[in-house]
Structure 1
Amino acid sequence: MEHVMRVVRADEWRAVKELRLAALQDPVAPVAFLETYEQGAAHSDAFWQDRALGGSEDGDGEVRQFVAEAPDGRWDGSVTVLIERPDAGVRFGATADVHQAHVVGVFVRPEARGAGLAEELFRVATDWAWSLGEPPIERVRLYVHEDNPRAAAFYRRIGFVPTGKTEPVPGDPSAREIEYAVGGPEQDTGADGAGF
């Protein structure tokens, strides 16, 4: 694979913004993301600067944004991991007593799909989560909109399983987000490292 998987740098806020806005224009964006293109485009430069800093190694350590960088410097995909600790407050659907990672913002440009970028981004992102010190991360989770079967099939293929937990979609309580999770690397899932 020619792409380099790496963490964003704080000074790359323009690239963070460009990739996010591209994701929000994808045809599946209405069921893949909780914001619209119009909302994303309305954010100030300061917002994007804070977002890039927060996802970088210079951030608070509880968030990392990983990108797939092509040889020409173009970012073809991204995955963000939020670390959820019991003492840090409960995020969307979080279990209050579990040390876990929450994957959000999954996107690969349409022209780069099918080349293994999503799998590699997940490998790098979950490896980072599993590597964190005491207390260790117990599981990695994510949510999939009930009307996004392609994403659900991908997550199942790489080892995530539905937990049985669902949450109403913010802004549309008639729709549901389905939680998927994978246990730590010490669990025998029949695959390597991060459970896939």
Structure 2
Amino acid sequence: MSIAVRRIEADEWREVKALRLLALADPAAPIAFLDTVERASAQPDAFWQDRAANAAGDAAAAQLVAVTDAGGWVGTVTVLPHRERRDAGLIVGVFVAEGHRGAGVIDALLDAAAEWALGQGLSDLILEVHVDNERAQAVYARCGFVRSGEIETAGFGREWVMRRALARTGSVQA
């Protein structure tokens, strides 16, 4: 089975909703996401339509999805403008469905996020990962993220700040 990574389209809000609900049902969700299945399920269609529109097309944010050759959505990552750094993107909403983990889907998603961010002129990707989520920390480190030494404290606990510098390629003029 092959996987393609692409940006969502605004009219795919139903798929965005279904994948988010699947992510929120994951056992790691309480330390990975700022939402619950119950709250997200109660949102009206307009919420999901806005969410998709705000991460598609020429929006400042981008939601990328991993799609199987059969059309199933099996992973996602979103890049938001960083709240403090204009030259960085903030990675949020990272999820790969059970049964597709360990097959390179997260690598493809994070590489596509880096490619999109470079196209926006960004120099870094930054994410925050719960200090107790060792599995996610290991995956992010494998994908080029390093701890910055900073810890963010939110209502649900402490999170390591991790950074991935984005490499620019191309020829140098002589």
- Structure 2 length normalisation: TM-score? 0.92
Structure 1 residue 138: Cα displacement: 2.3
Mapping of 1:44-123 within 5 angstroms? 44-58=44-58, 60=59, 62-84=60-82, 91=83, 94-95=84-85, 98-123=86-111
1:31-62 residue CA offsets vs partner (Å, 9 max, x unmatched): 1101111111111100000001111115x2x1
Residue number in structure 1 paired with 2:27: 27
Residue pair 2:118, 2:168 contacting (<8 A) in 1 also? no
Separation (CA, whole Å) in 2 of partners of 1:118 and 1:78:
8
Aligned to 1:112, the other structure's residue is in SS state: coil
Separation (CA, whole Å) in 2 of partners of 1:6 and 1:159:
21
* Identical amino acids, percent of aligned pairs: 44
- Runs of 4+ residues over 6 Å off in structure 1: none
**Partner amino acid, structure 2, of 1:114:** G
Residue pair 1:83, 1:129 contacting (<8 A) in 2 also? no
Q: Which runs of 5+ in 1 are unaligned?
A: 85-90, 188-196
Residue pair 1:13, 1:49 contacting (<8 A) in 2 also? yes
Separation (CA, whole Å) in 1 of partners of 2:54 and 2:41:
19
Separation (CA, whole Å) in 2 of partners of 1:156 and 1:167:
18
Residue pair 1:6, 1:68 contacting (<8 A) in 2 also? yes
**Partner amino acid, structure 2, of 1:83:** P
Residue number in structure 1 paired with 2:42: 42
Aligned to 2:49, the other structure's residue is in SS state: helix
Separation (CA, whole Å) in 2 of partners of 1:114 and 1:145:
20
Q: Which runs of 5+ in 2 are unaligned?
A: 170-174
Structure 1 residue 186: Cα displacement: 3.9
1:176 partnered with 2:174 = no
Aligned to 2:137, the other structure's residue is in SS state: helix
Question: Number of aligned pairs?
Answer: 169
RMSD of aligned residue pairs (Cα, Å):
1.5
1:154 partnered with 2:154 = no
- Structure 1 length normalisation: TM-score? 0.82
